[in-house]
Amino acid sequence: MSPLIEDDRGHVSDRTSTSKPRLAVIGAGSRGNAYARATVDSGLATIAAVVEPIPFKRRLLGSKFIWGKGESSAGQEFADWKDFIAYELQRRKDEEAGKSVPPGVDGAFVCVRDELHTEVVTALAPLEIHLMCEKPLATTLKDCLQIQRTLEQYDQKVFAIGHVLRYSPHNLLLRHLVREQNVIGEVLSVEHTEPVGWWHFSHSYVRGSWRKESYTAPSLLTKSCHDIDWLMWMLCSPQAGNNLPPHLPSNVSSRGSLKQFKRSRKPKEAGAATNCLSCPIQDNCMYSAKRIYWERHLAKSNARWPVEIVNPEVETILHTEGKPKAKDALFKSLVEDYDAATTPVEDIEGRSWFGRCVWESDNDVCDDQFVTFEWDDDPQHGRTAKTANFHMIAQSLAQCERRGWIYGTKGEIHYDSSRITLNDFENDSTRSFTPEVPKNSHHGGGDDGLTQQFVKAVAAVKNGKMNVSKAQTEFLGVTIEECVRSHAAVFAAEEARLQKRVVEWGEWWEKNVKPELATQ
């Protein structure tokens, strides 16, 4: 066997390399830490660099996953992603000139704020390294399509999107049962619900970074693009190994609004207070920041999410100086507030305000939304008409524990986040499945599942075992085109909601997507 392998663009590489991939983490928030941990736990790759503007967060991730108790070395930490790119370009020049340089990275996790994804991903593309971008891909359809065009311009490497629901043991089994084993026959209808969780929604979508549509994106994108992608994966994407075209929806409609978290619902007893720590009902209000972050979490010695989002230093303070000092640090962050009449809008929108009254925030994203997709019969390929209903609801006890029903011609399936129950009409029988979930992985094991598949794909290409397209298909099972399509479904649904109409998928695609993809 030749030690050389030719990739998709005709480039030849040495297949004798067996070193582990080296990956950078760009953005040391909760998602960056999750992917770094999953990478290290897998033993399949190493975290080689971290990019993060906040020094404490950058050094915390670095000490955990890169340099340990010592100090960082050249090329291991950067405050700005532009500095990382400049360093890598210079490192390559020095290497070509025969100078002794540290090794570079094979890929990167992009975990910066959603609105920065387009700028960062398109800037990284010329480096021709493998990329995994946290969801959503971008906050507008135009930017999603720009990313697709940019990646296709260069020597395309492995690309993954943080749609972790595809990679949990639970959902992999569910799709296997429904699509490969056809246990309920042809799918006719799906009801799928994402219960966000009453205090989780207040944390992330009322007080947090994703609260304002004009600044970030609609909650259907920032929270539920996971679920829209899951529906497209379950109902559009052909089974692995066949060459059928995707069964695309015929139309999409949506209804939803901001129902609870608005000023008109503020309790009269709260008076003019805008911050929980100065509010007369702070001990009784269910959305009191004191009750959520202190009583529900830090008082019970939990300084991880969501406390670490309020103040990333609290966890270290808790372990080194004790709970009273940690509480002081937490409350110092919670007491911060703004005056809507005098504080510049860019200052208000440029950060999160976790002590802000949920009835006085500047949030405007939906806290309750329904989306309906309809498919026509496809007699040419033997596929039946079907309907999928998705419901995103903030006010729930369950927190991101998806649940639903799938109805078919021969049976039905009920699922939640831990169990799958199959009712077989033909055999008049019921079976239950409880896939094992990794203990330390979020999203039902999806974080670890996606990370491992991405790293395996990168390793297969790096070590010459596969070209990019084969590794992309075999390990990730999704292309950039399919990723953009599921995002497009979100934007089509939002257009339907805002215009209160049914959007015809084919017409919408021809008008909004094809012209952008043709633009170079």
For 167-205, the pLDDT digits (tens) are: 999 999 999 999 999 999 999 999 999 999 999 999 999
The answer as to whether 327 is a domain residue is yes
Q: Are residues 423 and 292 in the same domain?
A: no
Both 269 and 220 in a single domain?
no
Query: Does the residue 418 lie in any domain?
Result: yes
Same domain membership, residue 273 and residue 257: no
Tell me whether residue 357 is in a domain. no
| Domain presence at residue 466 | yes
pTM value is 0.93
CA distance 104 to 91: 8
- pLDDT value at position 241? 65
Same domain (yes/no): 177, 71: no
Q: pLDDT per residue over 280-314, tens digit each?
A: 999 999 999 999 999 999 999 999 999 999 999 99
At 437, the pLDDT band (50, 70, 90 cuts) reads confident
My answer on whether 9 and 125 are in the same domain is yes
Examine the fold and report which residue of 295, 320, 349 is the final residue of a domain before the chain moves on. Answer: 349
CATH, residue 148: 3.40.50.720
The CATH number given to whatever domain includes residue 420 is 3.30.360.10
Q: Find the helix or strand (DSSP H, E) in which 411 lies.
A: strand 411-415
Q: Are residues 247 and 369 in the same domain?
A: yes
Say how many C-beta atoms besides its own lie within 10 A of residue 82's C-beta.
13
- The total number of structural domains in the chain stands at 3
CA dihedral (455, 456, 458, 462) positive or negative: positive
Which structural domain range is residue 20 located in?
Answer: 4-165+445-478
Q: Which of 295, 325, 349 is the last residue of a domain?
A: 349
pLDDT of 421 > 60? The answer is yes
The answer as to whether 250 is a domain residue is yes
Considering the domain architecture, whether residues 65 and 184 belong to the same structural domain is answered as: no
| Sheet-wide strand order for 503-504 | 429-433, 420-424, 411-415, 403-408, 187-195, 386-393, 368-375, 251-257, 503-504
Question: Are 405 and 499 part of one and the same domain?
Answer: yes
Tell which of 282, 317, 349 closes a domain.
349
210-239 pLDDT tens trace: 999 998 999 999 999 999 999 999 999 887
Assess whether 336 and 236 both reside in one domain.
Answer: no
- Asked, for residue 295, whether it belongs to a domain, the answer is yes
Give yes or no: residues 423 and 512 share one domain: yes
Dump pLDDT digits (tens) for 21-74: 999 999 999 999 999 999 999 999 999 999 999 999 999 999 999 999 999 999
Is 19 strand, coil or helix?
Answer: coil
The verdict on residue 132 lying in a domain is yes
Which DSSP state fits 444? Answer: G
For residue 157, being part of any structural domain is answered with: yes
Range scoring the smallest mean pLDDT among 1-10, 11-20, 101-110, 302-311: 1-10
Q: What is the pLDDT of residues 232-251, one digit of tens each?
A: 999 998 876 678 899 999 99
- DSSP E strands, 162-295: 187-195, 251-257
Q: Do 184 and 147 share a domain, yes or no? A: no
Do 243 and 392 have their domain in common? yes
**Residue 442, pLDDT score:** 72
Q: What is residue 11's predicted lDDT score, i.e. its pLDDT?
A: 38
Judging by beta carbons within 10 Å of its beta carbon (0-12, 13-18, 19+), is residue 154 exposed, middle or buried? middle
